[in-house]
């Protein structure tokens, strides 16, 4: 489709202005067809950016290697540009929006010279769903177009829903590498120097401007940029929730179904839980979403969730048949791999894939030939695959994808899970005493820093409230207030009993020998079974100062977990919790100043009083 054929006057004007600013050689409005996807892949193959994987081993799949400066989200170059700095809050990088737009407009000027401008209409969520939102991304990267084909619903069907005057989030993106006449990329990943990378969000005007990076959440603007940072602002203003949460469908042996969501900071087992294979006989777990949940109230007063994404953008290293068999099955075909190793027989490889690499040599993520590893380990700093190497795969290929995953009405949520990586203090599972107590639990989510991360912070808890620290598009104190308001709205409507129950889980409790007590992975289904029952007020439980815990015999123990282990996993560490509360009071909550809701201060006092009771 040509720009002149666009029926939405606001969209047409916006594209024409972008074209005048960025001066591409041509403009293409994406139609979302399979033929278009194939063309994008062929363009990158012909330019030397993509390697076709062996058709017998990995049909329909390709491998890319990015520039070493462009391998992950760049938090220090990610901005929330609200007019008032306090509206961005203490957890976001802020620049005045007028100043930032001036800087970036200068960078965008002529940035697409020698390239094609692609206009990608995309829907986050099933097309036409009342919970979904439309975005339009302008980009000069065929790699981005191909990835967006997988990660969102793109093309003409989205324009049909948008109509002549529908709301859309405008998203600028350029790799920031214009080409002179006759110049080609010649197989070199196009991007700008780190000092010129900007991933900018303008919450008041609902805009996203990204420049200089071609990778991941910096460039696939439907993902973290729209689905969380901008959507969290829309959700606040419109009375719903946009959360960094997986969505699970759980069926018990009696055939009863419940849906739960879960928020976990990085390295806390989120993707593994999203595609869990239960070990508990008779139970079934299916995936609705692995990363993001958008939730709105239905007419019955319950919160209904959709997965706004259409694909998985997963971290490859550490993914194997033991940790996540369903993910491994999902990426057997039609998958885009980035920054993985390339084996002699034309397949991908990464650390902890479960086996050594075949043959004598392997090509690492930087394009260097190296001896093929005999095991699936590599010394730190010498990895074959980049630690943030990724796979982009269609969600429909997942063996455990739930049939409801594209239901435009969403699925009714019965429980929220919050979790972190805590070797001590936090029990295996804990149910909140109330909605407000649950918001408090979500607000203090964190993981203990280990020696492998930052040596001078070992033993400290790095807080990541609601697992939203890098993704909340406004002041996080106001974000806590929004969660409290959701509960208050339900109370006023007489539907508080229909709100999801809130739980905190911790798969990472350790013993005195520094060994994990709980085996995790599929065994986590045993904890999910107790949570499932608690949603109906069933399941053996005991009231404690920190919440409602299972009795030691309420969860069926897996092999290797003794009665003593179970007692330790469910022990309330009173002294540890006193220190936890002190840390929250002294080091965490003060960050939010007068934006911290008074209700959370009251909750903190109440928990402290119970602990000293």
Which residue in 171, 191, 225, 268 is the catalytic one? Answer: 268
Residue 550, CA distances (Å) to 83, 418, 500, 611 in order: 47, 17, 18, 18
DSSP type of residue 229: I
Which residues of 439-483 form beta strands (DSSP E)? 446-448, 461-463
Question: By 3-state DSSP, what share of the chain in percent is helix, strand and coil, each rounded to 5?
Answer: 35, 20, 45
Report the distance separating Cα 223 and Cα 309, nearest Å. Answer: 8
Q: Bin 206: left if φ > 0, else alpha if -120 < ψ < 50, else beta.
A: left
Nearest to 63, CA basis, from 363, 324, 359, 355: 363
Report the distance separating Cα 289 and Cα 511, nearest Å. Answer: 33
Alpha helical stretches, state H, 374-452: 435-443
The answer to whether 353 touches 376, Cβ cutoff 8 Å, is yes
268 is catalytic: yes
Which residues of 281-340 form beta strands (DSSP E)? 284-289, 293-297, 303-306, 311-315, 336-338
CB neighbour burial string for 258-269, b if at least 16 within 10 angstroms, e if fewer: bbbbbbbbeebb
Report the distance separating Cα 390 and Cα 212, nearest Å. Answer: 19
Tell me the CA end-to-end span of the chain in Å, nearest whole number.
Answer: 69
Which residues of 376-437 form beta strands (DSSP E)? 390-394, 411-419, 429-431
Q: Which two tokens stand for residue 610?
A: 């119970």
Alpha helical stretches, state H, 153-230: 156-162, 216-219
The answer to whether 342 touches 51, Cβ cutoff 8 Å, is yes
Nearest to 267, CA basis, from 491, 467, 121, 444: 467
What is the distance of C-alpha 507 from the center of its chain? 19
Report the distance separating Cα 472 and Cα 447, nearest Å. Answer: 18
Report the distance separating Cα 242 and Cα 410, nearest Å. Answer: 13
H or E segment to which residue 343 belongs: strand 341-343
Q: Which two tokens stand for residue 22?
A: 């960025």
The answer to whether 108 touches 3, Cβ cutoff 8 Å, is no
Q: Which residues contact 507 (CB under 8 A, 6 or more apart)?
A: 268, 269, 419, 428, 516, 518, 520, 524
Q: Which residues contact 157 (CB under 8 A, 6 or more apart)?
A: 32, 123, 127
Q: In what order do the strands lie in the sheet with 311-315?
A: 50-52, 62-64, 336-338, 390-394, 311-315
Tell me which residues are annotated as active site: 268
């Amino acid at each position: 489709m040509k720009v002149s054929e666009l029926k939405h006057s606001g969209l047409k004007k916006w594209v024409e202005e972008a074209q005048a600013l960025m001066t591409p050689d041509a403009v293409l409005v994406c139609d979302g067809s399979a033929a278009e996807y194939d063309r994008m892949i062929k363009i990158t193959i012909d330019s030397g950016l993509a390697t076709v994987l062996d058709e017998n081993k990995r049909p329909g799949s390709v491998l890319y290697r990015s520039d070493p400066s462009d391998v992950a989200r760049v938090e220090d170059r990610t901005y929330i540009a609200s007019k008032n700095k306090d509206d961005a809050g203490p957890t976001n990088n802020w620049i005045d929006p007028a100043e930032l737009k001036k800087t970036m407009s200068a960078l965008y000027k002529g940035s697409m010279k020698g390239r094609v401008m692609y206009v990608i209409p995309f829907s986050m969520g099933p097309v036409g769903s009342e919970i979904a939102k439309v975005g339009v991304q302008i980009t000069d990267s065929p790699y981005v177009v191909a990835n967006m084909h997988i990660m969102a619903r793109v093309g003409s069907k989205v324009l049909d829903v948008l109509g002549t005057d529908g709301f859309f989030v405008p998203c600028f993106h350029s790799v920031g590498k214009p080409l002179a006449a006759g110049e080609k990329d010649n197989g070199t990943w196009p991007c700008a120097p780190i000092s010129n990378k900007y991933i900018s969000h303008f919450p008041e005007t609902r805009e996203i401007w990204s420049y200089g990076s071609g990778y991941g959440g910096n460039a696939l603007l439907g993902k973290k940029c729209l689905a969380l940072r901008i959507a969290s602002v829309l959700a606040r203003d419109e009375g719903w929730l946009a959360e960094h949460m997986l969505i699970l469908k759980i069926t018990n042996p009696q055939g009863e179904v419940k849906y739960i969501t879960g928020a976990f900071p990085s390295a806390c087992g989120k993707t593994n839980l999203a595609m869990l294979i239960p070990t508990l006989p008779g139970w079934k777990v299916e995936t609705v979403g692995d990363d993001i949940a958008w939730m709105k109230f239905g007419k019955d007063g319950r919160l209904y969730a959709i997965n706004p994404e259409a694909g998985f953008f997963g971290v490859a290293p550490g993914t194997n048949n033991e940790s996540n068999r369903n993910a491994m099955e999902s990426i057997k075909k039609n998958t885009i791999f980035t920054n993985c190793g390339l084996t002699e027989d034309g397949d991908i490889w990464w650390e902890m894939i479960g086996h050594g690499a075949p043959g004598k040599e392997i090509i690492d993520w930087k394009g260097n030939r190296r001896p093929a590893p005999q095991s699936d380990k590599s010394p730190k700093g010498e990895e074959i695959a980049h630690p943030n190497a990724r796979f982009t795969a269609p969600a429909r290929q997942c063996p455990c994808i739930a049939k409801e995953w594209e239901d435009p009405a969403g699925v009714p949520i019965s429980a929220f899970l919050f979790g972190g990586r805590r070797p001590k203090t936090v029990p295996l599972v804990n149910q909140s005493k109330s909605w407000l107590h649950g918001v408090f639990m979500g607000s203090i989510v964190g993981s203990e820093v280990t020696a492998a991360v930052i040596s001078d912070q070992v033993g400290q808890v790095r807080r990541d409230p609601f697992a939203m620290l890098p993704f909340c598009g406004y002041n996080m104190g106001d974000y806590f207030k929004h969660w409290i308001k959701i509960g208050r709205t339900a109370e006023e409507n007489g539907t508080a009993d229909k709100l999801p129950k809130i739980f905190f889980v911790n798969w990472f409790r350790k013993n005195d020998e520094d060994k994990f007590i709980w085996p995790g992975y599929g065994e986590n289904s045993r904890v999910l079974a107790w949570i499932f029952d608690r949603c109906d007020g069933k399941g053996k439980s005991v009231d404690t100062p920190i919440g409602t815990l299972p009795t030691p015999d309420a969860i069926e123990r897996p092999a290797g977990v003794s009665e003593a282990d179970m007692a330790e996993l469910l022990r309330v560490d009173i002294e540890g919790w006193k220190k936890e509360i002190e840390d929250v009071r002294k080091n965490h909550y003060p960050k939010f100043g007068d934006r911290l809701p008074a209700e959370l201060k009251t909750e903190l006092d109440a928990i402290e009083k119970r602990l000293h009771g």
